[in-house]
Structure 1
Amino acid sequence: MASGQEHDAKFAAILERSYRQTAEFEQPIVKPSWTFPLPFVAFGTSEESSRGETCWGPPPRTLAELRMYALSWAIRSKPDWRRKAKDATIMEKWREEATEQQITLPKYEKLTKNMINFTLTELAAYSELANNPLGLEAGPFDAIWYSDKLITDDLAQLLRTEVAKLEDIPDSEKDWHPGSHDQVLDLVHPSLYPIMYGRTIASTTNTTVAVPYEKSWKIWLSDDINAHCLSEKYSWLPSDFAISSNKPDGVAEARLVSPYINNLHPTTHQQLYCVIEQAIGAFVPLFERVLSQINGSEQDLLREWQKDEVPGGSGRIKVKYGFGTFIGFDRKYVGLRVPCIWASGMRDRGEFETNDQYLDAIEILPEAHEEDNGALKRTFVPYSLRGKTIQCIVKLANIHLTPENKEYAGGSWHVEGMLNERIVASAIYYYDEDNITESRLEFRVTTSPPVYHEQDDELCSKVLYGMERETHCLQSLGSIETKSGRVLAWPNIYQHKVAPFSLKDPTRPGHRKILAVFLVDPSIKPVPSATTVPPQQSEWALRALLEAQQDPRSLVSRLPLELIQAISAELEQVEGGRYLGRREAHEVRTRLMAERKVFLKAREGTVALSFNMCEH
């Protein structure tokens, strides 16, 4: 008869094959229409949880791999890093510095020789994926891209000149963002004059715009989340831009297809329209890089994360797909993507006199492959926007500091928009700054809970993933300097926030100015846009009426003056109709922002779920 040990091994092998086949062949009943991951959509149900919690992100990366990313980013942030990476002497110096700088760290925080060597040899892959003529560079983590060369000096100056027309208005008319303490000046903001479901009229049907809801969402969204991430009241209004099919590797040509950009008058700011078209054309190569690294449905991504070759979604850390834990009422087998820190079962803290002794007892730590194995290139599945019509939401805003108000406290963690707006990526051009300290944009991501390596083994989860009991399943992805002239793009599945900054010289004012473009998922059916939704600004309608009344070729000029005056008075005072006056638009914005604050609060507690280790 076979020994008990052999029997256990055979049983484990059977369970492992069953687990892998389930991961490989299970398909959702209805596949959603989107290709790219969204921050509002569940990635699946946690197989590691006996409670079957909804997962709102990929499996977490090990801290070891995140430290490898940090080392790589520190090197790639150096001037002329690409040339230096080809110099064997400099590479050896970097290797020595990386080793020396972690001497005082505990062993579970140190990068191994393999990790350092993998990171250094991977630099060649980063160089290959970049674009030298356009200055495209990979940022601190996958799918974050930037360039300091995309926008020419002439275009930047033209942007500053044209935006000055929006800034040069009486103080009483300036739109300081609510709650910003008169620091954030909104010049063009999508929360003003948004789509109002059930009220905003679509010109193609002459009926009100309906919430774009998909039946398949019921599978991917739980009922308690629907109420928070899907707005049934408001939506930001994008404009459509046709992207040229020429110059496949260069700056694209973008042409506005829609009649207007929301909150930017097409006649008054005609030149600014041209600048925005050129800027969006320049953003296209960055957007393509971002989309190429998140290309694939959630189910495709999940299957990859569950394979040996791509543990945790990357392949940098060696995998050990062995015994896991029997959990839940169905006693489902869970495989381990990385080795447990204990070779022969969890050690109890009570066995050791000090915490240092407990940590020193750790027997196994993650290990990387000896050198670059193509992990970075495997994440890159080229996606082109050339020849497509894309939908973009445009925003222009400034941050102003004064000697009386000289510190910007920083922003809050957030993603852009809500589910119905379908924003898949963001790009920001930092086109002007003066007299401010270094400013950075920080990133983090929501993950699923880590695999239980053994029941209630909190130390293992802390050492491997940086997650402890009752902490949110979030991982930091690093930050990047947002210096003047830089264009930065990233996927909307990453949360981001502006880090604090202040005046360099506290005796005089300073500012930072941005052009932001939010890209609607280009793989889906177009959402309602400025192509199908006429302007809702009553002042625009009034201006058009008065201009038509002055034009002898217009039929409006034949109307009696009394009728023109009556229509004008109605446009200025109307509420609840097709058009909004400025006062009502601000009231709508207040309600829209309140709704999104509820979403952000709910998301913090639900999407970024807490890592709770069950007592089985």
Structure 2
Amino acid sequence: MTDPCLCNDGHGPLKVPGFSDVPIDLELCPQNRFTHGATEWTQWPNLTARELAMLALINDLTEEHGWHEKVFNDNLMVDWRMQALSRPLVSPKAWDWCLAELRDKALYFEQTGNIVVFNTGAGIIKSDAVAERIQTELRDATELLEADEKVSRQHTVLDLVDPSLFPLVYGRTRVLMDSGRVTLDSTINSCGRGEIVPEFPPGYFRRQRPVRRNPPWPEEVIPTPHAMDRDDERWSARYQWLPCEVDFVNDSGTDVRITSYVNNLHPIRYRALYGTIAKLVSQSIEPWNQILIKQNRGRTPMRIRTYGLEPDNERPEWATHEKLRELESNRSNTAFKEAVDKIKEYLALPERLEEKEGKQISPTWETEDGGLWTALYRKWTRLRTWQHPEPGTAFGFNDWKAGRAEKAIIDMRIVYPDSNTCHNFYKVALQDSFRKKGLQVVVKISSIELTPEDSAYDGTDWHLDGMLNDHIVASALHVFDIKNVTEARLSFRQQTRMEQGEFHYEGWKLESLMDVFAIPGDSEDIDGSVTCGCPASLQDLGSVVAPQGRLLAWPNVLHHRMEPMQLLDPTVSGHCKFISLHLVDPHYRICSTRNVPPQRHDWWVEEAIEATGAAKHGLPAELIHQIDAETENWPMGIEEAERVRLEREHEQNTVERYIFKEGAHRYIFGTI
């Protein structure tokens, strides 16, 4: 449940991070909140390349029309099997596993219209259950939004509703800090109320903040040590997105209503759109329930668990180090000469061209001390190949479904306490746990607009949603209107962890390890004996297509990016319109639009002019324009808001550089 010390209901002082002596970087203990992606979530260890191939196959096959019925047609599955086996790393065992899993997923899909893909640890929901009526209402509303000349445009992207415009700005924004609330009906009339929120001093996160003996929050929510003792790059002391408040409307179910304004969406002019967005939030709750992560524990166990490499070809059984050393003690006997002849035959076996650059075999190996073993071993390392591990080796599909997936094909070199325990599945039900308090959701509506003159969209960089004090734990994206552009597609990756001491790879080239565990780059990149600039351990999962009508949902532990798109017909304009919903961790309460009167000057001046009856009484347009111009920065003008948006975007980029680079785990391997 939401901790009672955090409250923004308006019936008393605002007690949320950044207000009433509650630290801005307050972080609940992991067991009292959902897991975030700001250097917290890690997939341990890396997924194998074969498991990634299986996940990609399942994702692709669930794009087939009627897939949930077709997977039970044995005759059709013969054809699907042949096609699947032509894909890299999809073996017969991998296909058998994927088919069993697809049939399981089909049952859930028939019940809900949802399917979880790329679900090892974290996962992504694909849902085609959004009603056509919701899509129509969104299309109609965005036509009105596009007519508003004050929407923000960034090259080919039109941000129709942008949470980074007019956010909470410390030292600038007026907030109802003592009591009071902004309702939908009182939104515009509340402009100018409240006090300006104090600005945090420079170096706020660098200074030591002692733990108070009697803090105003329970012991379990005292700021974590890393937030108290060092300059934490994951937080912002300047900005915070302002979510709207979302209340559940009945004693059960997921129906909701929005009770405070969506930042930058006029609550009167677009009141009908508020109802549509509420329906989409309601539709997103069950997908969020399926993918939210607790205590850094993934929702689904790995299908292939291993901590080493298996050779395809073993060393000759007759050649052990002990035997060859013993034969060298008497080089004149027949056994020694026979061993030399066998080794010569072995050394004559053909090698791959690239392996000939390995360690060279001494031309005098026959006479050197230990020469027999050294020559044979070096040849074996140049001939040796490795296996990609198979599913169903350490545990079967039914064991995996039951969580009995702790066994590894090759055990960890160092066994940690509780590292070999069964997977504990758990459920999340936002509608039950937070029915009284409700949810907080950040809304964004965007349109990618392409023309014959500007016919390509470059996509986005890898990112997480929000900074840590925005407390975003899950997102949903719904594409409701696509015309004359290539498909919308989102790619996902995640932070992983692979420790050198946990893996068996003695004598193997690092390329082998990288191939089996899908580590990108060159072997020198991760060789700690060669470089000290080892790359962050980030593993690409794959991409998910978002056709018109689809809703995607994912936990905000996954880095994601929208892929490029372009016009299908380069002579005609096209667009892709979508709405994004970002869920604030409901274990917290943060400052929301319930607590912040709207900051938009255009909303206020429109209401002020109407209240004076200027238009009704025939006030000259020049005088109305003068009133607008004289008050352009109150509460906040669009030019200042655009500057704030750019500054916040720069700060978010800085935060992400830290999370993806300096704060990330790294691949560091070397010669063992």
Question: 1:374 & 1:236 partners in 2: Cα distance?
Answer: 43
Query: What residue in structure 2 maps to residue 482 of structure 1?
Result: 546
1:487 CA displacement: 1.1
1:462 CA displacement: 0.9
Query: Is 1:461 aligned to 2:513, yes or no?
Result: yes
CA contact (8 A) 2:256 2:282 kept: yes
Residue deviations 1:89-117 (CA, integer Å, cap 9, x gap): 23333333333x15xx6xxxx34432221
1:315 CA displacement: 4.2
Q: Give the counterpart of 2:103 among 119, 124, 132.
A: 124
Q: Give the counterpart of 2:653 among 582, 597, 613.
A: 597
Match of 2:152, SS state, is: coil
CA contact (8 A) 2:31 2:295 kept: no
Superposition map of 1:189-588 within 5 A:
189-205=162-178, 206-209=194-197, 215-219=222-226, 223=230, 226-227=232-233, 229-245=234-250, 248=253, 252-258=254-260, 260-291=261-292, 294=293, 296-298=294-296, 300=297, 314-317=301-304, 319=306, 336=307, 341=311, 354-355=353-354, 361-369=384-392, 371-373=396-398, 375=400, 378=403, 381-387=426-432, 388=435, 389-450=438-499, 451-454=502-505, 457=508, 458-467=510-519, 468=523, 469=526, 470-522=534-586, 524-550=587-613, 571-574=631-634, 579-588=635-644
Match of 1:79, SS state, is: coil
Question: 1:359 & 1:427 partners in 2: Cα distance?
Answer: 50
Instruction: Indicate how the Cα distance of structure 1 residues 460 and 592 shifts in structure 2: closer, same or farther if over 3 A, else same.
Output: same
CA contact (8 A) 2:53 2:90 kept: yes
Query: What residue in structure 1 maps to residue 69 of structure 2?
Result: 83
1:129 CA displacement: 3.3
**TM-score of the superposed pair, with normalisation by structure 2:** 0.68
Question: 2:542 & 2:196 partners in 1: Cα distance?
Answer: 43
For these two proteins, the number of residue pairs brought into alignment is 504
Match of 2:257, SS state, is: strand
Question: 2:627 & 2:661 partners in 1: Cα distance?
Answer: 49
Question: 2:43 & 2:61 partners in 1: Cα distance?
Answer: 28
CA contact (8 A) 1:244 1:386 kept: no
Q: Give the counterpart of 2:33 among 35, 41, 45.
A: 35
1:201 CA displacement: 3.0
One-letter amino acid of the counterpart of residue 124, structure 2: I
One-letter amino acid of the counterpart of residue 531, structure 1: R
Question: 1:478 & 1:376 partners in 2: Cα distance?
Answer: 23
Match of 1:261, SS state, is: coil
One-letter amino acid of the counterpart of residue 567, structure 2: L
Query: Is 1:157 aligned to 2:136, yes or no?
Result: yes
1:290 CA displacement: 2.0
CA contact (8 A) 1:140 1:479 kept: no
Unaligned runs of 5+ in 1: 1-28, 44-55, 305-312, 320-335, 552-563
Question: 1:606 & 1:341 partners in 2: Cα distance?
Answer: 35
One-letter amino acid of the counterpart of residue 270, structure 1: R
Match of 2:237, SS state, is: coil
One-letter amino acid of the counterpart of residue 314, structure 1: P
Match of 2:474, SS state, is: strand
Residue deviations 1:256-310 (CA, integer Å, cap 9, x gap): 122x11011111211221221122122222222222xx2x212x56xx9xxxxxx
Query: Is 1:135 aligned to 2:113, yes or no?
Result: yes
Query: Is 1:147 aligned to 2:137, yes or no?
Result: no
Question: 2:594 & 2:460 partners in 1: Cα distance?
Answer: 32
Question: 2:628 & 2:79 partners in 1: Cα distance?
Answer: 74
CA contact (8 A) 1:441 1:496 kept: yes
With 211-220 and 414-423 compared, the bigger mean Cα shift is at: 211-220
1:343 CA displacement: 9.3
CA contact (8 A) 2:47 2:518 kept: no
Instruction: Indicate how the Cα distance of structure 1 residues 416 and 360 shifts in structure 2: closer, same or farther if over 3 A, else same.
Output: farther
Question: 1:244 & 1:360 partners in 2: Cα distance?
Answer: 68
Instruction: Indicate how the Cα distance of structure 1 residues 84 and 569 shifts in structure 2: closer, same or farther if over 3 A, else same.
Output: closer
Instruction: Indicate how the Cα distance of structure 1 residues 602 and 41 shifts in structure 2: closer, same or farther if over 3 A, else same.
Output: closer
1:423 CA displacement: 0.6
Instruction: Indicate how the Cα distance of structure 1 residues 69 and 537 shifts in structure 2: closer, same or farther if over 3 A, else same.
Output: same
CA contact (8 A) 1:243 1:385 kept: no
CA contact (8 A) 1:318 1:367 kept: no
Question: 1:222 & 1:377 partners in 2: Cα distance?
Answer: 42
Question: 1:244 & 1:364 partners in 2: Cα distance?
Answer: 56
Instruction: Indicate how the Cα distance of structure 1 residues 195 and 407 shifts in structure 2: closer, same or farther if over 3 A, else same.
Output: same
Question: 2:583 & 2:284 partners in 1: Cα distance?
Answer: 10
One-letter amino acid of the counterpart of residue 662, structure 2: T
CA contact (8 A) 2:309 2:386 kept: no
Question: 2:305 & 2:137 partners in 1: Cα distance?
Answer: 51
Question: 1:342 & 1:89 partners in 2: Cα distance?
Answer: 34
CA contact (8 A) 2:68 2:107 kept: no
CA contact (8 A) 1:241 1:390 kept: yes
Q: Report the RMSD for the aligned CA atoms in angstroms.
A: 3.4
Match of 1:165, SS state, is: helix
Unaligned runs of 5+ in 2: 1-26, 179-193, 206-220, 316-346, 357-380, 404-423, 527-533, 615-623
1:510 CA displacement: 0.5
CA contact (8 A) 2:488 2:576 kept: no
Question: 2:447 & 2:401 partners in 1: Cα distance?
Answer: 36
With 121-130 and 513-522 compared, the bigger mean Cα shift is at: 121-130
CA contact (8 A) 2:309 2:513 kept: no
One-letter amino acid of the counterpart of residue 152, structure 2: D
Instruction: Indicate how the Cα distance of structure 1 residues 201 and 218 shifts in structure 2: closer, same or farther if over 3 A, else same.
Output: farther
